[in-house]
Amino acid sequence: MGKMIEKYAGSLRFWILVVAATYFGYAVYYAASGMRDSIGMLSNQYLYSSLSQNSWWWMILFYGSEGLSGSISIISRTIAGAFAFHAAFLFWRKKDAAMLTMRKSARMALLFETVFFLALIPSIITAIAYNLTGENLFYFGHTPGILVVYGTLIPILATVLVIPPLLIKLRAVIKQESSQQEIVRWICLTGVAYLFVVFWFNYSMLWLGETVPYTRVYEEWGLTFVLQPANLLSFSLTVFGLLALAIVTLITTLPAIRKQSFQLNLTRVGAILVSFGGYFIFHLFYYYLTGGYSAHPSVWYEVISPLHNPNLWTVALAFLGVPVLLYGRAEKAKVG
């Protein structure tokens, strides 16, 4: 039994490395794609001529949020990914022998992940300005103001208010070399917040954006779009499935959050990881098998496109979840 547990522990460390490598690799891809778009935006004559018809302050806001701060955001996540991969590699090869270096790399990863979110603040300001001004402003054409509220203002504002403070606190806890129980507590709080805010609330607001008519871009919206079988399944998995998964995660981590115990039910944690990663694997198949954005131009298809979804690295969590689940069962059998 001891050899079996060690086998699963070794597998666990390897798959943590795979998750970190996926996080880093996709961040590099997303940054390269985003920087190409940002540079292209600066040289796009149609975009410039359209923006120049508006007030000078709007041009500054638009280029500042869509170009400069957007570039800072995606580059910051790439740097965070590099540090996360370094920490995971040390954990895989040297285990606890390199703990000090691992902690330092983890702190740097958390710092740049925080910058990734904070750099989105100009997008919030731009969305507010777009909705409050009486001018007919150019925003990728003339996007309906309420769509910008549903798809940008509310979800990004919620994310910026909730996630960076938790990341900063988690980084501080690691830096202060707090107890393992304290570190696990803040990891759990941060993870639960990601599920509720970054994923469930954010994606649910984007589905709400599907209720807004935008005939210049797409012909179907509201119930006409949602009630199509594939879309209805995607909607249900997002609005109800992710919420249920977030609630189960909160219940599972509650003992650690309350400092009652930092020993989590790894069998349940593994199942959560498999389910969460499976959600994104499903949406990869859903996107391509239904024809993608070209066949279904819409808010939802644009967001889940591999070219526009910065969270697609989470597919790797499904593969991490399997050894976590098996390790949890082996530990349970050992105690039993």
- What DSSP state is assigned to residue 16? H
Per-residue confidence (pLDDT) for residue 115, from 0 to 100: 97
Per-residue confidence (pLDDT) for residue 1, from 0 to 100: 46
What is the pLDDT averaged over residues 32-59? 82
Amino acid at 154: I
Q: Is this model's pTM higher than 0.75 or not?
A: yes
d(CA 281, CA 234): 12
Residue identified by tokens 């119930």 is: 223
Maximum distance among all alpha carbons in the chain? Answer: 73
Provide the β-strand partners of residue 139: 142
CB 153 within 8 A of CB 128: yes
Q: Is 142 helix (H, G, I), strand (E, B) or coil?
A: strand
9 has pLDDT over 60: no
Question: How many CB atoms within 10 Å of residue 101?
Answer: 13
Q: Is 139 helix (H, G, I), strand (E, B) or coil?
A: strand
CB 68 within 8 A of CB 126: no
Name the token pair of 49. Answer: 């001529």
255-309 pLDDT per residue, tens: 999 988 778 889 999 999 999 999 999 999 999 999 998 888 888 998 999 888 8
Residue identified by tokens 């509650």 is: 254
29 has pLDDT over 70: yes
CB 89 within 8 A of CB 17: yes
Letter string b/e over residues 245-283, b meaning 16 or more CB atoms within 10 A of that residue's CB: bbeebbebbebbbeeeebebbbbbbbbbbbbbbbbbbeb
249 has pLDDT over 70: yes
What is the pLDDT averaged over residues 87-101? 86
The residue ranges of DSSP E strands in the chain, in sequence order, are none
Map out the domains of the chain as residue ranges: 2-335
Decide: residue 170, CB within 10 A, 0-12 exposed, 13-18 middle, 19+ buried.
Answer: buried
181-192 pLDDT per residue, tens: 899 999 999 999
243 has pLDDT over 60: yes
Name the token pair of 322. Answer: 């399997």
The model's confidence at residue 62, banded by pLDDT at 50, 70 and 90, is confident
